[in-house]
Every structure is written in structure tokens, then in C-alpha cells.
Amino acid sequence: MGIAFENKNVYEDFEIDQDILFFKVGARAQGLVSFHGSNYNIKKRMTSEQLSTLFAHTNFVKIKSDCFVNIGKITAIENDNVYFGEKSNENKRVPVSRWKQNRLKHLWQQVN
């Protein structure tokens, strides 16, 4: 019995819901988006239509003017940070204001 492994190129074929922890948006005129996954970062140019679809995505919550987090991938919210995975991993955390932190905790508890 053989097992077929799917060769997935995360740089081209990532799924927003499942693969992305958070993303940051550059100036809208340029359309540059930086996607952050569990062990990679991808910068990609997007059209205004693609950006509109991305911003309307229900799994992502805006925590700063340029940063959206995947609420389903959050592991902890504390000490003014949103964590994705281990708290000791400095790369997979995003600072968040106390006001946004309280709102985000409420949304996160509804999902979990």
C-alpha cells in the first residue's frame, strides 16, 4: 500500500485559512502583502480586487491599521501580544494594544 504525498509549494499554493497566521499590508497603492505562516514569510503583490476579498475574509481580524490576525490560529492573548504557537517563539507573535486585546479576546473565546 503506497501513500501519495501531495507536493505543495507553500509559496504559490497556500490557503489563507489554513496556512496563514497573520498578514501585514503595505501601502494600498502598491498592493504588497506580507503573509506570515508557521515557518515562512511570503511577500506578494495583489490587485485591489484581491485585497478587497482578503479584507472581507471572516477568519481575519484587524488589530492594527496594517495587520490582520487569523483568529483560528491564535494560541494565547496576553501581555499585550497575540501568540501563534509557543510563547517563547519571538517570531510568531504580534503586539496588540490593550483596547484591541480585549476585543480580540472576546472574539477568540467565541471561536474556541
Contact 106, 52 (CB under 8 A): no
Q: Report the C-alpha gap between 60 and 17 in whole angstroms.
A: 9
Residues of the chain with pLDDT under 50: 1
Is 0.85 surpassed by the pTM of this model? no
- Cα 39 to its chain centre, rounded Å, is 12
The pLDDT, as a whole number, for residue 31 is 84
